[in-house]
Structure 1
Amino acid sequence: MSDEKDGHDAHEASYANERSPVNELAVNYIPAHTNAEHPPDGGYGWICLAACFNINCFTWGVVASYGVFLGYYLENDIYPSATDIDFAFIGGLNFSMAMLVSPIVTVITRRYGIHVPMLIGITFQTAGFIAASFATLIWHLYLTQGILVGFGVGFTYIPSIAILSQWFSQRRSLANGISAAGSGIGGLMFSLAVRAATSNISLAWALRITGLVSGFMNIMATIAIRSRNHIVQPSQHPFDRALLRRYDVILVLAWAFISLDDSQAATVTALLNLGTALGRPLIGVVSDHFGRIETTGIITLLCAISVFAIWIPATSYSVTIVFAVINGAILGVFWATIGPICTEIVGLKELPSMPSLSWLVTVLPTTFSEVIALKLRRPNTQHEFLCTQIFAGMAYLVASLFSWETSDCKAINLAKSEDATQIKDFLGLVMRSLLASMEFQAQARLFFWASYSKNLEASISRSTKGLMIATVVPGGLEAFQKLGETEKRHWRGMAINTIRDECASSGQVAIVAGHFMFWSEEKEDVLPVYTQHDLDTFTHIIYLDIPAQLVAQRRQEDVERSRPCISDTHLLKWQQAEKTQLRDLCRHHSILFSLVSAHQLLLHKVSTLLQDFRHHTEGHNLSEAERRLDEILAASQGQPETVLVMDADRTLAAEDTGALFWKRASQSVGDENCPLKTLFSSPLGHSHTAFRQATLLYEERADDEEFDGLCGQVASDVAMHPEFLYLLREVAKHDHVIAVVITCGLSRVWDKVLEREGLSQRVKVIGGGRIADSFVVTDAVKAALVARLRHEHQLYVWAFGDSPLDLGMLSKADQAIVVVGEEHTRSKTMDAALLSAVDNGGLRARQALLPSNAPPRLDVNKLPLVQITEREFIDSVLHQIRHAGIKVYHATDRNAAKLLMTPMRNDKFAGPALKEAHHDAGRYLAVEFLSDVIGVEKYQIPHVQGHPTSGYQLFHESQTLIVALMRGGEPMASGVNKVFPLAALVHANNPNDMTRHLQDRSTVVLVDSVVNTGKTVVHFVQYIRSVHPTIHIVVVTGVAQAQSISILNETLPSETRLSLVALRLSENKFTGSGTTDTGNRLFNTTHLP
């Protein structure tokens, strides 16, 4: 046993020596945009590459053949009034119009995906060529072959520009180079084909064939192409002005503005197009290996050199041919690298905005470059095109300077921020060291221990426990090897404590590599090498799951060291034991555990996880969820007034999509256990850490493509309640009401369910499931988002939920509906939690039974029943509250009012008699008006015949506050309270008197005997709004002077939930005092002034 331990300790020593160079590398910064999921560098990306090649071929390739049409137009006097400049402008419009529509295309892409704008573009381009075939005047050609074809190219090409950057990373420039080569191949084909068609058939048929062929081929490409927007989640801003404040972005735009000038004038021959086709993939390969920005600067400079060194001195046709091939191969640097450069400068998430800016700055040069070239021509001189050539060469030269400055700017930025490349280099070294040690030493099952101090956000340090043990133990590892297990355990704990303390003092985040246990095949007992200090310190563990067969194979192939033979079976058993024990320990110590398999692009996966671990806190999580909510509101149509917030699983449908996911996933691995059930029944419960762990389980189980497929299968198993489908379809018809699904489960599943039901455009989902989502939804997040809707956005919120996790958001909402399913599917813990929330937490809710024959929860008196498909309920949801300002209801001309107002106006009535008259008026106004203004709800009452029946009470009567404005409002308020006995009644001389009574109220009824100027009402309303922005306020009075209503509307112009109920309106502006003051008459104090 001692020899075996010495062997383990010797491994720790060798591992420490092996890793020591890595530990000298410090990593302090990870750019935010690297949080996006790493592109797969292949797979379906190759199909997308072929589609993009095809699009370039039949958009820019077609445009590149315009030179043939230009030659035909100049040689044949088809349009007598046209000049050379006209035809040059038409060629420029092909390019500039394509660039000009980029913001519009980006907006359409954001709303409808990439295929809709591409199909629009195909229609424009095809129609443009066909319409041009019927042109008889030069302005016809401007509109068709110039503007319409240009629009078509832009709508077809621009949505595809970001696709390859989403699918490729290491080969990004190569992919874009191959794609860009399509324009050269297309230019070559169409240059020859158009010349043959115009010579042998006619110009008209040449245009028609070009339109039809390009249209058909672009449709094929559109069908094949696929974006990864659901993973990358780009911002899709059509014109992000924030980018214009970045110096590196300005440099790229300047390069784009200048470097594109002469490529238009150059693509006039088939040989130049051939050079383009050959050169662009090569540019991609070179830029991937030597840097995209650096390669761009060099090749742009070579373009300038080729102009001055070859083109200008060229005096023979053969030299011109050489120039065409050479320059054709390199002039396409803009198209081959603009996509990767934009990605490198601003990242995948901001990618749609950056090309939009690039396209816009090219509008002027693409429109006028050919015209400038013609104007610079000096006919009838020895060097007719010398000025044109110098112009082209200088444009390339200046563009190359901007490119180089961009490179320098990027280098400075990286030096300042200690770029993410450092962490990737570090991780590469770490991974190689880990894998080497893991695969050649079977006992050393290694894993990452990512240790965080809760206050630490600054930088990252690395260490191994072996190296740290050598540092803290007197005598180093040699002395450590001679100790007993108890002493070793002590020093292992000291090692991790030292790492923890160093991080606390330096403000760094530590990444520590170490062992979990050793297990010899000859012995049954395992040797754990973790300590309680480890479990108290670590917050994240990443376990590198290398196949046992691969470990055994590499052990056998190790020629530098003799290793005992360990079977694949034992290695696998060892791995399973470690994974099982680690999962259980992590659940019991609030440590996030992530298992990364070798097939998951190990380095990229670990890098993504570490970057997420470093930045993610509960505060960050909430801010990301709030950002998503704000984006949904900003993108909504119209001005929303009401929001329906709905839980998803077992609310919108009876199914639990998490359980369905793992059931589907288990079919492929043969594991019937649901890890979510184990997770949420552990000490983690339903905490933020638990939901983060659930996300890591989904990441562990499936890559992005497989995850999306599984979500699609789960969505097909989900059947939404027909009642909710009906309600949501009614809501979708109105712009002032929006619906948002906030789920603790899988947002991707519900996106697909809503898409299937045709609701995805109007009902948005907030949820998680993947690291790329950047947040998880917990009960606290749900409650916070509802509170944000009410207080920050001042919207009226209806909340629907079914479980204890929904009680927070139900309590925060203006209207709460508890969804009650069948007994065998609904939450078993909800009744107790719901009862506590109603009795102790102030929750006032109703319940909807789905299906309608499901037994209700609690007592229907505590939780009244509601049918969400009833017209009355739907009308209350759809009620538009932001029109017509303050709503006024009065009974001035009614006979009942005339009878009631008589004793109130009679000078002989005072004291108790007058109080009774005001009391009666309050009762009348409550029954006649308040029951409609506020609404009523059913509740169960005993019938006189001995069976239960339905009665009615004021809607949320127990959540209603009646405020008697002292002292004149007290008698009338008592009459209102007589009709609504469950409502609370308070007396208030000033708004502060009702502060503590406003909590958990849905309606406030302000009662005064007379409203003269309305100043008192304004004072109370403004105070209530400062405490409760969305609560319904109703003012009840005996007499309201007409002028007071105007004052209320002028003083409270944005008030949308204020109503006034009066027994009568008066045009009399008289304000009583002394013997005529209503308050004095009510209380027999007319002697007072």
Structure 2
Amino acid sequence: MTSSTIQSQEDHDNDLTVTAPPYTGDVDLEKAITRTSMINKQSSKKICPYDKNDLPPHHLEKIYTDETSTTDSSSRSISPDDIPDGGYGWVITVAGFLGYFVMYGVTNLWGLFSQAYATSVLEGKATTLELITIGSLIFVSINMFSPLSSLLVSRIGTRFTYGLGGFLMCLAVILAGFSTEVWHLYLTQGLLFGFGGSFLYMAVTSVIPQWFTARRGTAMGISSAGSGIGALALSPMVNFLIIEYGLPWAYRILGFFLLGICAIGTILIKDRLPRSQRKNLPVKSPFQLSMFKDVNFVIWLFGSVISLMGYLPPLFYLPKYAAEIGINQTDASNLLAILSAMNAVGRIGLGFVADKVGRLNMFIIVSVLSGAFSFVIWQFAISYNILLVFCILWGATSGLYYALAAPITVCIVGSHNISGGLSILFITSAIAAMGTPISAAIQQITPNNGYFGIQMFSGAVYVLGAMICIYLKYRLTGSLLAKY
């Protein structure tokens, strides 16, 4: 029997057999058949799916087809590197928007709350410095508890962390309604609200990079715009509740209203990778001291934190400043709402532009502009109309840190160090909350308790932070005009 007859018979019986070399008369036929059988057995043990380009010419193509057809598609894993840059990510962005709506919407209104406390429940019981410091404590708590929050996100998941943070914040608002002493507010709206906010903040900032790459700045801009929209919507609402029902009941009604918003966000948010895959990923320490060896990262910390110190004083002092120049409580509330609305518009619009021109570039530009507006406009805002101009211009540029901080940090430290980088950034950002008590101290030594010192301080730290970031950009790109 010839080799071609044997080959034809075997092909008929089993079409999975690799074709043996033609018989030339010098090859032992029995060894050739045995070798072919061994090749078939070894090929059948390969793990699917195959890369066809890596297989030898005589590969068993039918094995690949049969095995993949019987594999349950639900058991296929999602690649950690296959980021959709959209899709359900936009729903995640909405959940982030709702989270920022509650967290920073309430925080940005502290100037309104403190002015109401100073003229009602705590009149004669607390100084301006004591009341303003409560707002700073919220920011300190949000940032200082971020490493714990980051660890909880890594081990338990985004949805649980988001929901827990939302519940604690709403509980803090409700409990603050029972406050009769200033230290009650330190524990509730200051510490507890900030503690819950840190969980929600880390949940949002950690989950958005899972869904976006090229559009990350836009997504973070939309999410962080919730803080401006939150203050815009809540400012007239809180002012109405205080006038109609008093400060304690205004807090309680607000707390239950915000609880419903947090519940919606908790339902919408989720991690991109399923829990079965996340638990197999290595969990890094949320605080890595080795990252301080990265000089560029350290420079970014200095620049961003110094710039951020200028954000809180105008925000918290606006209602008090408006009262000083003769603007009534309702108009002051409207000015704060307009400032917050422009803050939201700036975060979305400028966040989108930042993806085009470079996120660090945009951060530098808006920091310089915010400082200039404090220098040139705020000190001359002695009427409603001029103060309105300041609220529009400064509001549009001042809060872009919250949209760009995370994407810029990822660009500097790399996506593999995002958890450690953001944890360190948030902890050091707590230093920026010192901008408010520093401003209060400056006001005390200013003649007639004027606001000139506060205005100059806010503008100076914005510009100084921008100059540090310009130096960072030159180190990273070697050019002042490059996109980064």
Question: Normalised by the shorter chain, which TM-score bucket?
Answer: 0.7 to 0.9
Q: Deviations over 1:699-748 (max 9, x none)?
A: xxxxxxxxxxxxxxxxxxxxxxxxxxxxxxxxxxxxxxxxxxxxxxxxxx
Q: How does 1:949-964 map to 2 (within 5 A)?
A: none
Does the CA contact (< 8 Å) of 2:102 and 2:258 recur in 1?
yes
Which moves more between the two structures, 131-140 or 279-288?
Answer: 131-140
Q: How does 1:226-245 map to 2 (within 5 A)?
A: 226-228=270-272, 236-245=284-293
Q: Does 1:385 align with 2:451?
A: yes
The CA deviation at 1:409 is: 2.4
* One-letter code aligned to 2:338: L
The CA deviation at 1:317 is: 2.4
Number of the residue aligned with 2:410: 343
Q: Does 1:138 align with 2:185?
A: no
Q: Does 1:327 align with 2:375?
A: no
Distance 1:345 1:156, change over 3 A: same
The CA deviation at 1:77 is: 4.7
The CA deviation at 1:181 is: 0.8
Q: How does 1:1002-1013 map to 2 (within 5 A)?
A: none
- State the distance in 1 between where 2:347 and 2:377 align: 20
The DSSP-based 3-state class of the residue aligned with 1:82 is coil
Q: Does 1:356 align with 2:356?
A: no
Number of the residue aligned with 2:471: 405
Q: Does 1:73 align with 2:110?
A: no
Number of the residue aligned with 1:994: none
Distance 1:271 1:234, change over 3 A: farther
Distance 1:84 1:346, change over 3 A: same
Q: Does 1:394 align with 2:460?
A: yes
- State the distance in 2 between where 1:342 and 1:380 align: 37
Does the CA contact (< 8 Å) of 1:234 and 1:350 recur in 2?
no
- State the distance in 1 between where 2:385 and 2:284 align: 48
The DSSP-based 3-state class of the residue aligned with 1:262 is coil
Number of residues of Structure 1 aligned to a counterpart in Structure 2? 380
- State the distance in 1 between where 2:284 and 2:253 align: 35
Number of the residue aligned with 1:177: 221
Q: Does 1:40 align with 2:84?
A: yes
Number of the residue aligned with 1:219: 263
- State the distance in 1 between where 2:80 and 2:200 align: 26
Number of the residue aligned with 2:14: none
- State the distance in 1 between where 2:83 and 2:473 align: 24
The CA deviation at 1:48 is: 0.4
Does the CA contact (< 8 Å) of 2:99 and 2:166 recur in 1?
no
The CA deviation at 1:381 is: 4.4
Does the CA contact (< 8 Å) of 2:85 and 2:214 recur in 1?
yes
Distance 1:86 1:333, change over 3 A: same
Does the CA contact (< 8 Å) of 2:446 and 2:453 recur in 1?
no
- State the distance in 2 between where 1:402 and 1:83 align: 35
The DSSP-based 3-state class of the residue aligned with 2:271 is coil
Q: Does 1:256 align with 2:323?
A: no
The CA deviation at 1:81 is: 2.9
The CA deviation at 1:348 is: 2.3
Q: TM-score, normalised by structure 2?
A: 0.74
- State the distance in 2 between where 1:283 and 1:266 align: 21
Does the CA contact (< 8 Å) of 2:102 and 2:230 recur in 1?
yes
The CA deviation at 1:313 is: 3.2
Distance 1:336 1:212, change over 3 A: same
- State the distance in 2 between where 1:46 and 1:248 align: 31
- State the distance in 1 between where 2:431 and 2:409 align: 20
Does the CA contact (< 8 Å) of 2:121 and 2:180 recur in 1?
no
The CA deviation at 1:178 is: 1.2
Does the CA contact (< 8 Å) of 2:222 and 2:347 recur in 1?
yes
Which moves more between the two structures, 39-48 or 310-319?
Answer: 310-319
- State the distance in 2 between where 1:247 and 1:192 align: 45
The CA deviation at 1:187 is: 0.8
Q: Does 1:306 align with 2:373?
A: yes
Does the CA contact (< 8 Å) of 1:234 and 1:352 recur in 2?
no
Does the CA contact (< 8 Å) of 1:57 and 1:186 recur in 2?
yes
Return the match for 1:127 from 163, 171, 182: 171
The CA deviation at 1:120 is: 2.2
Q: For structure 1, which runs of at least 5 residues remain unmatched after alignment?
A: 1-34, 414-420, 422-1089
The CA deviation at 1:123 is: 2.5
Return the match for 1:101 from 145, 150, 154: 145
Q: Deviations over 1:436-457 (max 9, x none)?
A: xxxxxxxxxxxxxxxxxxxxxx
Higher strand share: 1
- State the distance in 1 between where 2:476 and 2:259 align: 41
Distance 1:383 1:86, change over 3 A: closer
The CA deviation at 1:412 is: 4.9
The CA deviation at 1:104 is: 0.6
Number of the residue aligned with 1:168: 212
* One-letter code aligned to 1:266: P
Higher-Rg structure is 1
- State the distance in 1 between where 2:440 and 2:432 align: 14
Q: Deviations over 1:638-669 (max 9, x none)?
A: xxxxxxxxxxxxxxxxxxxxxxxxxxxxxxxx
Q: Deviations over 1:262-320 (max 9, x none)?
A: 22223342121011011111111111000111111111111111112222233332111
Distance 1:332 1:234, change over 3 A: farther
* One-letter code aligned to 1:91: G
Distance 1:184 1:260, change over 3 A: same
Q: Does 1:293 align with 2:337?
A: no
The CA deviation at 1:333 is: 1.5
The DSSP-based 3-state class of the residue aligned with 2:81 is coil
The DSSP-based 3-state class of the residue aligned with 1:227 is coil
Number of the residue aligned with 2:127: 83
- State the distance in 1 between where 2:221 and 2:367 align: 15
Q: How does 1:292-691 map to 2 (within 5 A)?
A: 292-366=359-433, 368-377=434-443, 381=447, 384-412=450-478
Higher helix share: 2
Does the CA contact (< 8 Å) of 1:178 and 1:281 recur in 2?
yes
Number of the residue aligned with 1:154: 198
- State the distance in 2 between where 1:380 and 1:265 align: 15
- State the distance in 1 between where 2:380 and 2:123 align: 36
Does the CA contact (< 8 Å) of 2:218 and 2:352 recur in 1?
yes
- State the distance in 1 between where 2:239 and 2:427 align: 32
- State the distance in 2 between where 1:49 and 1:102 align: 20
- State the distance in 2 between where 1:293 and 1:329 align: 17
Number of the residue aligned with 1:280: 347
- State the distance in 1 between where 2:399 and 2:83 align: 25
Does the CA contact (< 8 Å) of 1:266 and 1:272 recur in 2?
no
- State the distance in 2 between where 1:135 and 1:378 align: 27
Between the two proteins, what is the percent identity of the paired residues?
30
- State the distance in 2 between where 1:244 and 1:216 align: 41
- State the distance in 1 between where 2:106 and 2:449 align: 31
The CA deviation at 1:112 is: 0.8
Number of the residue aligned with 2:8: none
The CA deviation at 1:119 is: 2.4
The CA deviation at 1:384 is: 1.3
Q: For structure 2, which runs of at least 5 residues remain unmatched after alignment?
A: 1-78, 317-335
* One-letter code aligned to 1:47: V
Distance 1:298 1:329, change over 3 A: same
Q: Does 1:267 align with 2:334?
A: no
Q: TM-score, normalised by structure 1?
A: 0.34
* One-letter code aligned to 1:178: I
Does the CA contact (< 8 Å) of 1:59 and 1:214 recur in 2?
no
- State the distance in 2 between where 1:412 and 1:239 align: 30
Does the CA contact (< 8 Å) of 2:100 and 2:230 recur in 1?
yes
Does the CA contact (< 8 Å) of 2:132 and 2:437 recur in 1?
yes
- State the distance in 2 between where 1:380 and 1:246 align: 40
* One-letter code aligned to 1:170: A
